[in-house]
Structure 1
Amino acid sequence: MDDRTFRNAMGKFVTGVTVITTGAGEEVHGMTANAFLSVSLNPRLVLISIGEKAKMLDKIKESGRYAVSFLAADQQETSMLFAGQIKDGRTLDFEWFDRMPVIKGALGHLTCRVVSEHVVGDHTLFVGEVSDIQLNEGEPLIYFQGKYRELASINEQRLSS
């Protein structure tokens, strides 16, 4: 199989959209990622996957911590900014939670301490122990077949049935 076929197959899996952030020295760094998953309830562990060419890789190794912000349906532009799809020089003001930078208006934030890292293929998997959680109300931004999507509300689904 070729790379395009593999990418198309992975695009069939609906994912939420996150922004991973960390502070390294005086600087804040962030990147959009959908490679995030829950690993364990006890201890509370999550995993992120960072490509070997991403600047974020060295920043997380340096800081030993990261935060995950679950983006809300109205935060597509934020996702695009941290994915490098918007390059007009704009910046984003961060909120601070548990001494970590997080995205304002996100559905939730996790702060994590790296407990292990594993190089697998062209990515590094960072397992993080969750140190704090903050939750907000709203609908998620989701990604499917290379496009941003929104969930249909329950009321809309009932009306169309």
Structure 2
Amino acid sequence: MDDRQFRNAMGKFATGVTVVAAEVDGRVHGMTANAFMSVSLNPKLVVVSIAEKAQMLEKIKQSWAFSVNILAANQQDLSMIFAGQVKNNQEVAFDHLDGVPVVPNALAQISCKVSATHEEGDHTLFIGKVTDIQVNDSEPLIYYSGKYRSLAED
């Protein structure tokens, strides 16, 4: 199989959209990611998968903390900014949760301290011990087959 076929197959898995954020030297850095999952309830652990070529990799290694922000349906613009799809350097304001930058009004804001890392293929998996959570009610931003989607009502 070639890389495109693999990417197309992985795109058939509908996911939510997150912004992973970290702060280094007083400056917040973020990236859009859908490679996120919960790992454990006790202790509360999550994992994010960051490409070795991503700038965010070093930012998380430097800060040793990160947030996962599950985006709401009306936050597609933030997803596009942090995915590098919007090139005008828009200033994005962040809140903080347990000292970690979080996206305001996200469906869920999850602050984490890195508890372990695992290098696998061309990515590093960051296991994050959840230190705090804020949850809001709204519709999620969905990504499927290379496009943003929304949940259909029954």
Q: SS of 2:74's equivalent?
A: coil
Structure 2 residues not aligned, in runs of 5+: none
Whole-Å separation in 1 of the counterparts to 2:3 and 2:55? 23
TM-score (norm 2): 0.98
Residue identity opposite 1:129 in structure 2: K
1:52-102 per-position Cα deviation (integer Å, ceiling 9, x unaligned): 011100010011100011000011111000000001121111111111111
Give the RMSD, CA atoms, in angstroms.
0.6
Sequence identity percentage: 58
Whole-Å separation in 2 of the counterparts to 1:118 and 1:34? 18
1:48 aligns with: 48
Structure 1 residues not aligned, in runs of 5+: none
Matches within 5 A, 1:12-161: 12-153=12-153, 157=154
Whole-Å separation in 2 of the counterparts to 1:41 and 1:104? 25
1:34-63 per-position Cα deviation (integer Å, ceiling 9, x unaligned): 000000011100000000011100010011
Residue identity opposite 2:104 in structure 1: K
Whole-Å separation in 2 of the counterparts to 1:39 and 1:99? 22
Whole-Å separation in 2 of the counterparts to 1:47 and 1:140? 19
Whole-Å separation in 1 of the counterparts to 2:24 and 2:92? 17
For structure 1, which segment, 93-102 or 114-123, has the greater mean C-alpha deviation from structure 2 after superposition?
Answer: 93-102
* Rg larger in structure: 1
Whole-Å separation in 1 of the counterparts to 2:105 and 2:41? 26
For structure 1, which segment, 85-94 or 28-37, has the greater mean C-alpha deviation from structure 2 after superposition?
Answer: 85-94
TM-score (norm 1): 0.94
Q: SS of 1:87's equivalent?
A: coil
User: How much does 1:4 deviate?
Assistant: 0.7
Q: SS of 1:62's equivalent?
A: helix
